[in-house]
Chains A and B, each alone.
Chain A
Amino acid sequence: MLKMPGWEMPIVWYFFLGGIAGGAYFTAAIADNFGSRRDHTVARVGYLLSLPLVAVCGLLLIIDLGVPARFMNMMLHFKFWDPMSLGAWVVGVFGAFTFVSSVLSFSSSESIAALRRKISLVGMLFGFFLAAYTGVLLSNSTMPFWAESRLMGALFLASGGSTGMAAVALIMFLTGGSISEGWHKIEVADRFTMLIEMLVLALFLAWLGSAAQPITSGHFGPLFWGGLVGGGLILPLLLNLFGGRVRVLGAVSAVLVLVGGFILRYVVVMSIQG
C-alpha cells in the first residue's frame, strides 16, 4: 500500500556522479595533504573532476523536481536531521569547495598550496558526506528494501570512494599521467577501497537477508550479480591485483569499477520502483 516516490534515471545519475565527485575530492585531499609532491597530479585531477560533476549533480537534482523553478525553496529552510535538506545544502557548499580547490590547484606558490591543503581538509568532510548521504536518504524512508538495511549509506560511501578513485585513475591514464608515481598509489588506494566495498556489501546483504530479493533475484538479479559483484568488484579487483605493470589492465579495471558503481545505484533505486 506504500507509494513510490518516482525517483528514476536523473536520480540514479545523481547518486552515481555525486559519489564520484565526493570520492574524487576526498581522495585528492588525502593525496594533497599526506602524499608527496609527485602526487600533485592526483590531487589536481581529483579537484578538477569534482567541480564539473557537482555542477551536473545540482542540475540533475533541479530537473528532477516537480517545480524546478522552486529549487531555491530548499535553501530557505534547514533541517539538520533530514538527509534531503542537508543534501541540498551540501551540494551547494561542497560545490564551493571544489571550485576553490580547483582554482588553487593551478598555483605553484607554496603558500597557496598550503592554504589549498587546509581548505581541502574541510572540503573532504563534505565530499564524504555527498558520497554517503544519498544512501542514508534512501534508508530513512518507509520503502521496503531501502529502509531495511542500516548499511546503505556505508555502501554508497565505499562505492563513491572506489568510483571516484577509478575516475581519477582513468583520467590520468587517458592524459598520460599514468607514468607518475601517483598512478600506482591511486591503484593501491582503489584496491583497498574495493576490498572495503566488498566487505560492506557482504554485510549489507547479510543484514537484509530475504529483504535483499529486489536486487539479488528476479529481473535485477543478473545485473546485480554479473554487473556489480562479478564485473564491477571481483574482476576489477583481480585486474588491479594481478595486472602488474600492464597499465591498460589498470585502466580496464577502472572502467569496470565505474560501470559497477552505476549498476549499484541503478539496481538499488529502480528495483523496487520498476
Chain B
Amino acid sequence: MARTLAMFTDTSLCIGCRACQVACKQWNELGLETPEWTGTYQNHAHFTDKTYRLVRFLEVPGAHPNGDLAWLLMSDVCKHCAQAGCLEACPTGAIYRTEYGTVNINQDVCNGCRYCVASCPFGVVSFNEQTGTAKKCTFCNDRIHNGLGPACAKACPTDSIQFGFRDELVAKATKRVETLKGMGFKDAQLYGADSNGFLGGLNAFFLLLAKPASYNLPTNPQRPQRNVVVDSLLSIGSAILVGVGALLAFRERGKGDA
C-alpha cells in the first residue's frame, strides 16, 4: 500500500462559503436536488446520494468558550474509516479500499442491497434510486490517481480542508489544537486523528471547536460488526433450546412402534 492519504478539515478556519460543496458537486457531476429548508443556511439537512460534501451550520447554545451560543461551521464528508463498517458489510465486494487507504464504491459492482447504508456510523452512504446503487464521497479517486487533490480541498479558500499524507497532516493538526487552546478554545480537539482510537482512525479527520455531540457526531462510533460473534452464539443457544424442545416432542421413548 502506498503512503496513506488523508483530508484534514479544520473547522476553526471554515467560513461557510460552501466552495467545497459546489466543487464536489461540479467535479463529480452530482446533479440537481430539491433544496430542503433546515432553518439555517445549511442545505441539505443530511448527506444525500448527490451531496458528498456538506457544510453544516450549527447554532449550539453554551458551546462557545465563554458559555454563549456558538455558531459552528463544519464541512462534513465521508470519513474513510480505517475500519470501515460499510466496507465490511458489503456482500459484493463493490466497496473496497484503495492503495491510498481511502474507501470507494465500485458503481459497476454494487447491486443496491443497502447494508452499507445501515452500517455507516455517520449516515454518509446514501442510496441512489436512479442508479440503484450506493453513493458516497470517492475521495476524488480519479483526481488522486492523477496527482491532484480532492476537488473540495482544492477549492477551499481558507485551507479549512487540507489534503496530504496522513502522518504529516496529523502532526500539523496536533499543533493547531495547541494553538487554539492557547487562544482560549478550551474544547478544541481532533476527531478521528488517532489511529489507535475509534474505528482505527479516520482518513478524513477533523478539528472541532466543541464537543463532537455539538456537531451531531457520535462521541465514540463503533464498528457495526463488533457483536456478530456474541449475537451468533446467542442465536445458537436459542436454536439448541428450540431444537431440544422439538426433539422431546417427537422422540420415541419405547421405539416399540417403529
Contact = CB atoms under 8 A, between A and B. Distances in A.
Interface of A: 1-7, 26-27, 30-31, 34-39, 42, 64-68, 70-71, 73-74, 76-77, 79, 81-85, 88, 128, 131-133, 135-137, 139-143, 146-147, 150-158, 161, 165, 185-186, 188-189, 192-193, 195-196, 200
A147 B120 contact: no
Contacts of B47: 3
Contact of B234 (A38, A74, A150): A150
Given A36-B258, A81-B225, A136-B235, A192 B248 contact: yes
B130 to A, nearest CB: 10
A141 B245 contact: no
Contacts of A196: 238, 241-242, 245
Given A34-B252, A35-B250, A192-B242, 8 more contacts: A5-B118, A30-B246, A36-B252, A39-B250, A67-B131, A77-B92, A142-B118, A153-B238
A139 B231 contact: yes
Interface residues of B, number: 65
Contacts of A26: 243, 246
Given A1-B216, A26-B246, A37 B46 contact: no
Given A77-B92, A141-B118, A136 B228 contact: yes
A177 B110 CA distance: 47
A83 B249 CA distance: 31
A143 B112 contact: no
B250 A132 contact: no
Which 5 pairs from chain A and chain B are nearest by CB? A66-B112, A66-B132, A192-B245, A153-B235, A154-B238
Contact of B119 (A37, A74, A142, A189): A142
A67 B227 contact: no
